[in-house]
Amino acid sequence: MIGGIYMWKRQGNAMRKSVDDVNWNDLLLYLGRNNREILHHVHSENNSVSKAIRINHEIILIRVSFIHNELVITFPQLNTVSDHVTEASATYVEEWFDLSRDLQPFYSLAEDDEILNGVVSAYKGLRIIGVEDLFEALCWSIMGQQISLHVAYALKQKLVTTYGESICHDGMTYWLFPSPERISSLSVEDLRALSFTQRKAEYVIGVAELMASDYLYKEQFIGLSLSEMEAKLIAIRGIGKWSANYVIMRCFRHPDAFPLADVGLHNALKKVRNESQKPSLEEIERWAENWRGWRAYATFYLWRTLQD
């Protein structure tokens, strides 16, 4: 048991948890949505995902599987695993897949919503996949501004493989996102050489400097309201309303964060409503009034429709 509530159990060198409301296939589909993804690897042959995480300054490879209604965490490169590593890994996975959140209120809301009804029933059990590291979330939101998802993944791949740390196992390399300390030491020209625009290079290095100097850190956001988190993030150069809500959604796990200007959201609504044109922002705001409290989850489920 982790933290008294998560109900993970250790079995040998593995951690296991019974779950009854997780759509593992759609979670893996999201995780494997782009072949340039560099921070985890989906193993289609056994429906698992592997990821390198840092625990007490050590890089640990974890593998997460779904077997007989249980999530199972194993440690492929370790022969013996300490209690601290197993518990820290279980906590990480709990947060990565938002496992402690009761989705029944969201399902109930969707039943009475013309747009969400069919979407949520089709993908029930899908959970918002988090980005635990604030620096990574902020950088990803900056890299994704005004470019296609595929190009954003290419930028991330270059940044991570140039400045990140990694471990190897069974001939495969598993990467960690670069630290703010590492990126804060770079020049704008260093990132321009990786195809970053001038502005994006400035923004990423600026965020790195804020975090490397401890002026900005994740714990500052604990207990803040959605609007307070948004205001604090928008004060950072390069972070606008869309980026702020994306970070609040993925890193701070607020279920009502709402990236209203998201192009993927607009395309998904166009598709779900079978319209020839994307909806206006005013229309989306009006529809989303019924989603209040769960707008992040509504957005994440609508994104899922774009993979069909």
Which residues are CB-contacts of 42 (< 8 A; sequence separation ≥ 6)? Answer: 28, 31, 32, 48, 49
- Catalytic pick among 26, 98, 133, 262: 262
What is the phi/psi pair of residue 228, to 5°? -70, -40
Q: Is 4 exposed, middle or buried (0-12, 13-18, 19+ CB in 10 A)?
A: exposed
Give the C-alpha distances (Å, rounded to integers) separating 96 from 62, 76, 207, 296: 12, 19, 23, 15
Angstrom distance (rounded) from CA 229 to CA 227: 5
State the Cα–Cα distance between residues 136 and 273, nearest whole angstrom: 33
Single-letter amino acid, residue 302: L
Measured CA distances, 151 to 60, 80, 188, 211 (Å)? 29, 40, 19, 26
Please say if 262 is a catalytic residue. Answer: yes
**Distance between CA atoms of 75 and 93, rounded to whole angstroms?**
13
For Cα atoms 174, 153, 258, give the angle at the middle one, nearest 5 degrees.
Answer: 110
3-state secondary structure (DSSP) of residue 41? strand
Chain centroid, CA 269 distance in Å: 21
Active-site annotation, residues: 262
